Amino acid sequence: MTVSALIIAAVFVVVFALFAFYDVVTSRRRKVKYRIWTAMTAYLMLLPAIVLAFLFVLLPILYSLGYAFTDYYLLKPNNISYIGFENFKQVFQEIAGRGTLYHALINTTEFVVGVVPLQIGLALALALFVNKTYKSAKVFKVCFFAPVVISLSVTSFLWLQILSPSEKGLLNSLLGVLGVKPRDWLRDPATAMPCIIVLSAWQGCGYQMLIVLSGLSNIQQNLYEAASLDGAGAWHKFTAVTWPGLRSTFVYIIITVFIGACRILTQPMLMTGYQDHTVTLSYYMYQQGYTYRWVGYSSAVALLMTIVIGTITLIQRRVFREKD
C-alpha cells in the first residue's frame, strides 16, 4: 500500500507539473504571456485545494476505476489480479439473467421516476405556501425544513413505526378506523417502494423548498404588478411569471435531486433489508463490495452507474440549456 501511495503521489506531482508547463507554453498563443514563476506561484496557491480534491475525490474514483478491472476480494487484499472486462461481462450477465442487479436497476428507476417529481413538486408547493408575509410563515418554514436535519437513520426508524404491519401500527390503526385491513407495507412488493418514495420525498423536500424560496425572491415584483395590470389571475401569474423565473433554479434542483435519488441506500437498508423488491443500485454495490466482499465487481457496477448517471445528467443539462 505504501509503494502504491508513493507511485500515485509521484504521478500526481508529474501531472501537476505537466499542467503548469502546458499552461505556460500555451500562454503566448492565448496572448496572455506568463512568466514561469508567475505560473508556479499561482499553481502553488492552488495546491492545497487541489491536493484535498485529489485525495478525497479524484483518488477514490481512480482507485475504483482501477479495481473495476481486477478480481479484488476484500479478504485477499494482497492477491489482486488484472482480469480485463470480466467484471463488466458479469454485470451484463446478471442483468440479462434477471438476477438481483436487474431488480436493483428496476427499483432504482422506479424510485427516481417517483421521487424526483414528487419531491420537487412538494418543494414548490411548500415554498409557495410559506412565501408569504403572514406571521406563522416562519414557523412553517422551520417545520418543513426540520426533517432535513434529522438523520436518515432516525427518519427511517420513525417511518418503520408508522408503517408497522401490526394492527397497532400508526398507519394501519388509522386505516382500521375506515375499515381497511392491516397491511405489511414494507414486505408487500406492491407497496414497499412507494412507501420509500413517500418518506424520501418528505424527508428531502424541505431543502429544495429553501432553494425554491431563494429563486422566488429573485423574481422582480414589478413583473407581478404588470401581470395584474394586464388582468392576469393567480394561475396566469404562476405560469407566465413564477414558472419562467424559476427555470434556472429548477435545472439545479432537478439535477441534484436526480443524482441523489440514484444513490439511494439508507432507506431500503434500514427499512426492509436486502430484498429483491426494494434493493437499489447503491445497496447492491454495498452488499457486493462489503458483505460479499467482491470489491472489484462492486467497483465495476459503480463505474457503470457513474457513466449512466453522468450521461443522463449531461443530457438534462443539454436539454435545459437549449431551452434557455
- Where does this chain bind another protein (CB under 8 A)? 1-4, 7-8, 11-12, 15, 18-19, 22, 26, 58-59, 62-63, 65-67, 69-70, 72-82, 99-100, 153, 164-169, 182, 184, 187-188, 270, 272-276, 286-287, 290-294
Query: 180: which residues sit within 8 A by CB, 6+ positions away?
Result: none
Q: Which is nearer to another protein, 67 or 250 (CB)?
A: 67
3-state helix, strand, coil in the chain (%, to 5): 75, 0, 25
DSSP letter for each residue of 41-56: HHHHHHHHHHHHHIII
3-state SS, residue 219: coil
Q: How far is the CB of 292 from another protein (least distance, A)?
A: 6
CB neighbours of residue 195 within 10 Å: 20
Q: How many residues does the chain have?
A: 324
**CA triplet 6, 11, 12: central angle to 5 degrees?**
95
3-state SS, residue 272: coil
Q: Which is nearer to another protein, 13 or 319 (CB)?
A: 13
Q: How far is the CB of 75 from another protein (least distance, A)?
A: 3
Q: How far is the CB of 274 from another protein (least distance, A)?
A: 5
Q: How far is the CB of 231 from another protein (least distance, A)?
A: 52
Q: Which is nearer to another protein, 165 or 245 (CB)?
A: 165
CA distance 189 to 197: 13
Query: 90: which residues sit within 8 A by CB, 6+ positions away?
Result: 297, 300
Q: How far is the CB of 300 from another protein (least distance, A)?
A: 13
Q: How far is the CB of 186 from another protein (least distance, A)?
A: 9
Number of helices and strands in the chain (H, E): 16, 0
Q: How far is the CB of 275 from another protein (least distance, A)?
A: 6
Q: Which is nearer to another protein, 100 or 208 (CB)?
A: 100
Q: Which is nearer to another protein, 188 or 230 (CB)?
A: 188
Q: Which is nearer to another protein, 91 or 212 (CB)?
A: 91
Q: How far is the CB of 193 from another protein (least distance, A)?
A: 15
Q: How far is the CB of 197 from another protein (least distance, A)?
A: 20
Residue closest to 132 by CA, chosen among 246, 247, 217: 217
Q: Which is nearer to another protein, 21 or 252 (CB)?
A: 21
Residue closest to 87 by CA, chosen among 272, 265, 285: 285
| CB contact burial 224-257 (16+ within 10 A = b; e otherwise) | beebeeeebeeeebeebbbeebbeebbbebbbeb
Provide the phi-psi class of 39: left if phi over 0, else alpha when psi is between -120 and 50, else beta: alpha
Q: Which is nearer to another protein, 111 or 185 (CB)?
A: 185
CA distance 206 to 190: 27
Q: Which is nearer to another protein, 34 or 274 (CB)?
A: 274
